[in-house]
């Protein structure tokens, strides 16, 4: 091999090429020279031969170290724990950093502890969002985004970042040097448009090429709140292609809470919806969701109705002369015991407004949905309900039925 070829090998492979050179070239030449050396030069050539092997072993150790660092050494890692939780909760992470998030539940003294790791390079001061869902039947309105600010000491091998959850305050705290530092928190998960880059425990966001309802059914009902939010954003980007399926979901009384919420959030995030092209039953379903006891579903439904200026056929007010709190109602039956009176507390209705083409029946008790006790019925116009002394249902309404004439 000519000198030019060796130079290229050394430049390309570094210490590995030097090792090959010492083993197959230098060692052979020094061994030959040792055999041929005279008695006076024998000791000097032996020293050169042993020195060559010492260099070879040194390069072997260095090469093994370099290979280990390149292939086996752990990435910069932040290790952490989340304490004071029960095990029902769902913990996810959202960041622009395309790193890996690992989490596991570990039983600790009749409770559960999350042990988590962030793998990758984060800069000092970078924010990582811990998305925490108490998962106690409160719906998506209970989900919180908690900002963890990265610090250089988090990367120390023996360091464990400890975070505790205070259920009473619904807050997360970073435990540091004997102090508890409250993490910045927001409850704005619902209705957000999904960022382009998100990563979390269970999945990465994949935008469907062509509309496939099976993909969205699974993702919109996922346990992970970030997967659900990503799915809502992807569904919104499908635009008109998704509308037939969205209307089917809203028209199906068996659709789950997460499916209903997901498709309404997607509608709110679409650039524009031809409201006239939607089925009347779709508008009625959204109006019905606007009276739901769940804050998230009610808020998103009202956002859609207000955006497209969809009026309710019936609006019931807390006080006489259309005063106090109010709640609109679409066609259908609404019961206080099912939490369907929305912003209107039970037994508070005192006045009502009805638009043309509809009538309303307000009753004292639900009576298994068939109504019971006193009832009043009104057509188009505005009315104060009769008081109890006058045989009416003012401040006693527990069921409202809106009927299209």
d(CA 191, CA 233): 9
Judge whether 138 and 123 are in contact, CB under 8 Å: no
d(CA 171, CA 188): 15
Stated as kind and residue range, the H or E segment containing 129 is: strand 127-133
- Interval 315-327: pLDDT, tens: 999 999 999 999 9
As beta bridge partners, residue 129 has 94, 147
- Interval 3-58: pLDDT, tens: 666 556 555 656 666 667 677 778 888 888 888 888 778 888 888 888 888 888 88
* Residue 341: CATH number of its domain: 2.60.20.10
156 part of a folded domain: yes
Rg, C-alpha atoms of the chain: 35
Judge whether 332 and 340 are in contact, CB under 8 Å: no
d(CA 25, CA 45): 16
The two structure tokens encoding residue 117: 């790791």
Q: Are residues 182 and 83 in the same domain?
A: yes
- Interval 346-385: pLDDT, tens: 999 999 999 999 999 999 999 887 788 999 999 999 999 9
Q: Are residues 155 and 175 in the same domain?
A: yes
Q: What is the pTM of this model?
A: 0.67
Q: Are residues 143 and 179 in the same domain?
A: yes
Whole domain around residue 47: which residue ranges? 3-71
- Interval 92-145: pLDDT, tens: 877 766 555 656 665 555 566 777 777 777 788 888 888 888 887 778 888 889
* Residue 177: CATH number of its domain: 2.60.40
Q: In b/e form, how buried is each residue of 210-242, taking b as 16+ CB within 10 angstroms? A: ebeeeebbebbbbebbbbbbbbbbbbbbbeeeb
Q: Are residues 346 and 364 in the same domain?
A: yes
CA quadruple 338, 341, 346, 347: dihedral sign: negative
200 part of a folded domain: no
Q: Are residues 260 and 323 in the same domain?
A: no
| Owner of token pair 């009927």 | 403
Task: Give me the mean pLDDT over the 67-83 stretch.
Answer: 70
Q: Are residues 84 and 131 in the same domain?
A: yes
Q: Are residues 56 and 89 in the same domain?
A: no
272 part of a folded domain: yes
d(CA 88, CA 133): 9
DSSP 99: -
194 part of a folded domain: no
CA quadruple 360, 361, 362, 367: dihedral sign: negative
324: three-class secondary structure by DSSP = strand
Q: Are residues 328 and 368 in the same domain?
A: yes
- Interval 263-310: pLDDT, tens: 999 999 998 899 999 999 999 999 999 998 888 999 999 999 999 999
380 part of a folded domain: yes
Cα angle, residue 283 at apex, residues 277 and 288 outer, rounded to 5°: 170
Torsion angle (degrees, nearest 10) of CA 160, 166, 171, 176:
-30
Distances (CA, A) of 80 to 17, 118, 130, 193, 351: 42, 8, 12, 29, 56
Q: Which of 251, 282, 307 is the last residue of a domain?
A: 307
Report pLDDT for 204: 33
- Interval 145-188: pLDDT, tens: 999 998 888 888 788 899 999 989 989 999 988 899 999 998 75
Q: Are residues 42 and 136 in the same domain?
A: no
pLDDT over 50 at 197, yes or no: no
Q: Which of 28, 49, 71 is the last residue of a domain?
A: 71
Q: Are residues 63 and 17 in the same domain?
A: yes
Please state the separation of Cα 27 from the chain's center in Å. 62
111 part of a folded domain: yes
Report pLDDT for 12: 61
d(CA 400, CA 31): 103
Stated as kind and residue range, the H or E segment containing 386 is: none
Report pLDDT for 24: 73
The two structure tokens encoding residue 33: 């020279």
Q: In the chain, what is the greatest distance between 2 CA atoms, to the nearest angstrom?
A: 133
d(CA 114, CA 100): 16
Torsion angle (degrees, nearest 10) of CA 226, 228, 231, 237:
-90
Region of 163 (left: φ > 0; alpha: ψ -120 to 50; beta: rest) is beta
Q: Which of 38, 71, 104 is the last residue of a domain?
A: 71
Mean pLDDT (the chain) is: 82
166 part of a folded domain: yes
Cα angle, residue 309 at apex, residues 304 and 315 outer, rounded to 5°: 95
d(CA 213, CA 235): 9
Q: Are residues 373 and 326 in the same domain?
A: yes
d(CA 99, CA 72): 17
Judge whether 201 and 93 are in contact, CB under 8 Å: yes
94 part of a folded domain: yes
Task: Give me the mean pLDDT over the 241-261 stretch.
Answer: 94
- What does the DSSP assignment read for 326-365? EEEE-SEEEEGGGT-STTS-TT---EEEE-TTEEEEEEEE
Q: Are residues 133 and 158 in the same domain?
A: yes
d(CA 135, CA 145): 14
- Per the structure, how many domains does the chain have? 4
């Amino acid at each position: 091999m000519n000198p030019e070829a060796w130079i290229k090998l050394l430049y390309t492979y570094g210490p590995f090429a030097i090792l090959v050179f010492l083993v197959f070239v230098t060692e052979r030449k020094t061994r030959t020279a040792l055999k041929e050396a005279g008695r006076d030069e024998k000791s000097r050539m032996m020293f050169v031969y042993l020195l060559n092997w010492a260099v070879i072993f040194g390069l072997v150790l260095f090469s093994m170290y370099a290979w280990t660092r390149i292939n086996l050494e752990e990435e910069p890692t932040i290790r952490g724990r989340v304490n004071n939780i029960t095990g029902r909760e769902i913990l996810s992470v959202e960041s622009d950093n395309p790193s890996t998030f690992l989490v596991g539940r570990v039983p600790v003294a009749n409770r559960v502890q999350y042990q988590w790791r962030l793998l990758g390079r984060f800069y000092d001061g970078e924010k990582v969002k811990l998305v925490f869902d108490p998962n106690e039947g409160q719906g998506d309105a209970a989900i919180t985004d908690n900002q963890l600010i990265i610090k250089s000491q988090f990367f120390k091998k023996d360091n464990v970042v400890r975070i505790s959850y205070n259920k009473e305050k619904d807050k997360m705290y970073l435990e540091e040097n004997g102090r508890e530092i409250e993490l910045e928190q927001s409850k704005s998960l619902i209705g957000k448009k999904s960022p382009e880059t998100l990563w979390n425990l269970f999945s990465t966001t994949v935008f469907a090429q062509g509309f496939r309802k099976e993909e969205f059914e699974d993702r919109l009902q996922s346990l992970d709140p970030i997967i659900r939010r990503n799915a809502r954003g992807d569904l919104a980007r499908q635009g008109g292609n998704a509308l037939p399926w969205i209307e089917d979901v809203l028209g199906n009384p068996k659709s789950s809470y997460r499916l209903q919420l997901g498709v309404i959030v997607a509608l709110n995030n679409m650039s524009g919806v031809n409201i006239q092209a939607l089925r009347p039953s779709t508008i009625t379903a959204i109006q019905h969701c606007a009276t739901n006891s769940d804050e998230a579903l009610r808020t998103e439904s009202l956002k859609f109705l207000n955006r497209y200026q969809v009026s309710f056929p019936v609006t019931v007010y807390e006080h006489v002369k259309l005063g106090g709190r109010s709640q609109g109602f679409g066609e259908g039956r609404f019961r206080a015991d099912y939490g369907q009176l929305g912003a209107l507390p039970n037994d508070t209705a005192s006045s009502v407004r009805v638009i043309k083409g509809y009538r309303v029946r307000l009753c004292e008790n639900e009576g298994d949905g068939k109504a019971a006790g006193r009832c009043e019925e009104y057509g188009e116009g505005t009315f104060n309900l009769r008081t109890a002394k006058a045989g009416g249902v003012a401040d006693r309404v527990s069921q409202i039925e809106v009927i299209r004439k």
